[in-house]
Amino acid sequence: MKRNAKIISLHRYIGIVICVFLVLLSVTGIFLNHTDDLNLDKRFINWPWLLKHYGLAAPQPKQNFNLGQNAVTNYDGQIFYNEKLLFQNEDEIQGAVEKKDFLYIALTNEIMVFDATIEIIDVLENTPAPIQLIGTNSNDNQIRILDDNNQSWVYDEFNNAWSPDISKVHDWSQLEVMSTTQMARMNKYFLSKGISLEQFLLDLHNGAVLKKVGKYLLDIIGILTFVLSITGILLWSNRKR
């Protein structure tokens, strides 16, 4: 009788554990069975802790040039103005400046010009190259560049020509740390979708969400199911006597 009580207690506690697992398995299974009806593959979760758990993170900027509340950022060859992808370029950018309603981004041998809607409208290819820096002068607000001989040049936009710059005052575009606000905006851009609800439920269903721990947990559940069957048979056998 005492032996039966131990078997009953073991059977009961194992049954509770298995029951919790089966409920989880059933609920996730029902949802996954209706993936198309519920559009689970088109719904996304972007909880920070979950993205971190899956090892998802926004790429780190290679270069960043702050322009007041805006920024031009190089993400390994992808050049962004805030969250808008402008173009791709293998070489590093030499700087960026905003003048009135125009944005100028300097590459090594040319300058790309964008309008107020951040659409490209011109490429200045007749620049003294290679370009080292791009900037302005607060006195006349004209675009200036510095070549690799440390010669400064000023751009005459009316004649589309460059001439040696005699000014000694320059506001060169410099690499800067991305602001917290801009970093948050770019993280949202790169991680806006996150993990699909279908993927999360599938990983929850098969234990993959816990990675290696989930694999061993399923092994334990399998063993407990076997023990539950054995204790059930023993209890049934003892009752028949």
Q: Dump pLDDT digits (tens) for 33-48.
A: 898 888 888 888 878 7
Average pLDDT over residues 83-104: 92
Q: 118 pLDDT exceeds 90?
A: yes
Residue that wins the pLDDT comparison between 98 and 208: 98
Tell me the average pLDDT of the chain. Answer: 86
Residue that wins the pLDDT comparison between 81 and 8: 81
- Which H helix or E strand runs over 45? strand 44-45
- In degrees and rounded to multiples of 5, residue 132 shows phi and psi of -105, -40
- pLDDT above 70 as % of the chain: 96
Question: Which of 2-16, 159-173, 225-239 has the highest mean predicted lDDT (pLDDT)?
Answer: 159-173
* Burial class (CB within 10 angstroms; exposed 0-12, middle 13-18, buried 19+) of 110: middle
Chain Cα centroid distance, residue 71: 18
Q: Dump pLDDT digits (tens) for 50-68.
A: 888 888 888 889 999 999 8
What pLDDT is recorded for position 185?
85
What pLDDT is recorded for position 163?
92
What is the Rg, in whole angstroms, of the alpha carbon atoms belonging to the chain? 32
What pLDDT is recorded for position 2?
57
User: What is the band of 174 on the pLDDT scale with cuts at 50, 70, 90?
Assistant: very high
Q: 138 pLDDT exceeds 80?
A: no
Average pLDDT over residues 107-129: 92
Q: 226 pLDDT exceeds 70?
A: yes
Q: Dump pLDDT digits (tens) for 12-31.
A: 788 788 888 888 888 988 98
SS3 content of the chain, % helix, strand, coil (to 5): 40, 25, 30
Q: Which amino acid is at 19?
A: C
pTM assigned to the model: 0.67
